[in-house]
């Protein structure tokens, strides 16, 4: 005899309020997706000019460590999610103490620390770059001796878009103390170089019931460590490699008991004989820039899918619409080309409502769907 089924949180009904921690473009697009399903959005962010405030019915302007404001926010909503992974552990605990938090504090803790993340992924038998924990100059010297160079030293926490990392080249003199000082002595991880052919990601969703659905793996091109272009299907990716990438994402999502949309960034490494294998680079416990193409390019957008998952709703279809999709980020002053982009009849322009186009700031994106039948997805 099996035991009783554990109690499960009731599904959220339209009219309920989703709490979104973080007020950037990802929160903004989650709020829009929620509205299309008749849900309300309450956004929590410290900056009164947060882009997500413009499309949310309720707003809390407060710091991410303001325990009182966090508790009041959580009590005012029906479920809590977030748009970025650098949420302090205490913040996640306060939120989860009042309302369901999806993805969970556990998923957050595992993925916001590069060392915990790599250890977790490697523990699932999934390939990663070689890595070592580096807490001080002596550890760095030892890790470099073991892993070799080129290698990248990264802070364990709070890195994004190439921030908080330092490339260690084989042809440069290594001064471990100076390198550690340049990252302000923070706990780090040294990652060995992976001779990859291409960077891809799998954007997928999982529900509390264990339902899982992935979009077509996409190829990502970065410029100055910032995503510049996503193309789907990933050029030259064999169906069996795509299936392997999706299976890896599912193994990770299942092992985390994940609820919501996640993105798994991977390297495609070409092996002798021309086959490719995937190596996991990192996990984003949230909707992801490389999934923006799904707004027009897939049956259900990643934002709508995330809302479905955190509400306990069935996942939507993830079939690709069209023979291929291209998404270009508009970074910094690239958004100044908005008028030309609007004049292209086949381009879908998205702007995030940010005031100042600072260099490196993601201001919007453009999606182009190439007409034609979408291919069968591998996952």
- Give the residue numbers of the binding site for ATP: 114, 154, 159-165, 191-194, 199, 222, 281-282
List the one residue out of 194, 376, 191 whose CA is nearest residue 276: 194
Is residue 123 part of the contact set for a copy of itself (CB under 8 A)?
no
Report the residue from 271, 345, 359, 376 that binds a copy of itself according to the rule CB under 8 A: 345
- DSSP 8-class letter at 309: H
Kindly compute the dihedral angle of the four CA atoms of residues 291, 294, 297, 301, in this order, to the nearest 10 degrees: 180
Residue whose CB is less far from a copy of itself, 32 or 237: 32
Is residue 36 part of the contact set for a copy of itself (CB under 8 A)?
yes
Q: How far apart are CA 331 and CA 34, in angstroms?
A: 26
Report the residue from 9, 35, 116, 238 that binds a copy of itself according to the rule CB under 8 A: 35
Residue whose CB is less far from a copy of itself, 201 or 213: 213
Is residue 297 part of the contact set for a copy of itself (CB under 8 A)?
no
Distance of CA 305 to the CA centre of its chain: 14
Report the residue from 22, 26, 56, 103 that binds a copy of itself according to the rule CB under 8 A: 56
Q: Are 63 and 46 in contact (CB under 8 A)?
A: yes
| Among 79-87, 131-139, 271-279, 313-321, the segment contacting a copy of itself (CB under 8 A) | 313-321
Largest CA distance in the chain: 66
Q: Are 114 and 156 in contact (CB under 8 A)?
A: yes
Residue whose CB is less far from a copy of itself, 132 or 365: 365
Instruction: Report the nearest approach of a copy of itself to the CB of residue 342 (Å).
Output: 5
Residue whose CB is less far from a copy of itself, 12 or 126: 12
Instruction: Report the nearest approach of a copy of itself to the CB of residue 273 (Å).
Output: 37
Residue whose CB is less far from a copy of itself, 173 or 339: 339
Q: Are 124 and 140 in contact (CB under 8 A)?
A: no
Q: Residue 36 is inside which H or E element, if any? A: helix 25-36
Task: List binders of a copy of itself among 180-219 (CB under 8 A).
Answer: none
Residue whose CB is less far from a copy of itself, 1 or 10: 10
- DSSP 8-class letter at 170: T
Is residue 125 part of the contact set for a copy of itself (CB under 8 A)?
no
In this structure, is the dihedral angle defined by the CA atoms of residues 110, 113, 119 and 125, taken in order, positive or negative? positive
Conformation bin of residue 29: beta by default, left when phi > 0, alpha when psi is -120 to 50: alpha
Residue whose CB is less far from a copy of itself, 235 or 355: 355
- Listing from the earlier edge strand, what are the strands of the sheet with 40-45? 58-61, 40-45, 17-21, 79-82
What are the phi and psi torsion angles at 370 (to 5°)?
-85, 120
Is residue 48 part of the contact set for a copy of itself (CB under 8 A)?
no
Report the residue from 53, 215, 258, 293 that binds a copy of itself according to the rule CB under 8 A: 53
DSSP assignment of 198-266 equals EEEEEEEEE-TT--EEEPPPEEEEEETTEEEEEEESPTT--HHHHHHHHHHHHHHHHHHT--EEEEEEE
| Among 28-36, 139-147, 218-226, 239-247, the segment contacting a copy of itself (CB under 8 A) | 28-36
- DSSP 8-class letter at 21: E
Q: How far apart are CA 224 and CA 234, in angstroms?
A: 21
Q: Residue 324 is inside which H or E element, if any? A: strand 324-331
Residue whose CB is less far from a copy of itself, 179 or 205: 205
**Integer CA distances (angstroms), 157 to 84, 89, 106, 163, in order:** 12, 12, 15, 10
Instruction: Report the nearest approach of a copy of itself to the CB of residue 305 (Å).
Output: 11
Report the residue from 342, 358, 360, 370 that binds a copy of itself according to the rule CB under 8 A: 342
Is residue 367 part of the contact set for a copy of itself (CB under 8 A)?
no
Instruction: Report the nearest approach of a copy of itself to the CB of residue 32 (Å).
Output: 6
List residues near a copy of itself by CB under 8 A: 11, 13-15, 28, 31-32, 35-41, 53-57, 299, 308, 313-314, 316-317, 321, 335, 338-339, 342-343, 345-346, 349-355, 364, 371, 373-374
């Amino acid at each position: 005899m099996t035991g009783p089924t554990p109690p499960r949180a009731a599904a959220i009904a339209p009219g309920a309020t989703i709490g979104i921690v973080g007020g950037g473009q990802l929160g903004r697009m989650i709020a829009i997706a929620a509205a299309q399903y008749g849900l309300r959005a309450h956004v929590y962010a410290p900056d009164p000019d947060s882009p997500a405030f413009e499309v949310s019915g309720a707003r809390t302007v407060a710091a991410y460590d303001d325990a009182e404001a966090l508790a009041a926010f959580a009590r005012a909503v029906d479920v809590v999610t977030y748009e970025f992974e650098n949420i302090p552990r205490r913040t996640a605990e306060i939120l989860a103490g009042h309302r369901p938090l999806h993805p969970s504090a556990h998923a957050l803790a595992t993925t916001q620390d590069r060392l915990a993340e790599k250890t977790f992924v490697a523990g699932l038998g999934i390939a990663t770059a070689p890595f070592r924990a580096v807490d001080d100059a002596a550890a760095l010297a030892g890790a470099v001796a073991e892993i070799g160079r080129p290698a990248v030293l990264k802070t364990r926490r709070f890195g994004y878009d190439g921030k908080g990392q330092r490339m260690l080249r084989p042809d440069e003199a290594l001064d471990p103390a100076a390198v550690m000082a340049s990252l302000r002595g923070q706990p780090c991880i040294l990652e060995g170089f992976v001779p990859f052919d291409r960077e891809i990601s799998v954007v997928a969703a999982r529900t509390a019931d264990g339902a899982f659905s992935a979009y077509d793996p996409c190829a990502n091109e970065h410029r100055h460590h910032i995503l510049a272009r996503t193309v789907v299907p990933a050029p030259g990716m064999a169906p069996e490699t795509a299936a392997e990438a999706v299976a890896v994402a599912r193994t990770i999502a299942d092992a985390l008991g994940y609820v919501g949309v996640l993105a798994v960034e991977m390297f495609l490494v070409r092996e002798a004989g021309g086959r490719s294998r995937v190596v996991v680079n990192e996990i984003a416990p949230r909707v992801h820039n490389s999934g923006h193409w799904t707004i027009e390019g897939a049956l259900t957008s990643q934002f709508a899918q995330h809302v479905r998952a955190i509400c306990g709703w069935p996942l939507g279809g993830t079939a690709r619409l069209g023979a291929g999709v291209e998404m270009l980020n508009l970074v910094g002053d690239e958004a100044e080309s908005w008028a030309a982009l609007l004049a292209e009849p086949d381009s879908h322009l998205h702007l995030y409502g940010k005031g100042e186009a600072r260099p490196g700031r993601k201001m919007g994106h453009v999606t182009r769907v190439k007409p034609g039948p979408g291919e069968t997805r591998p996952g």
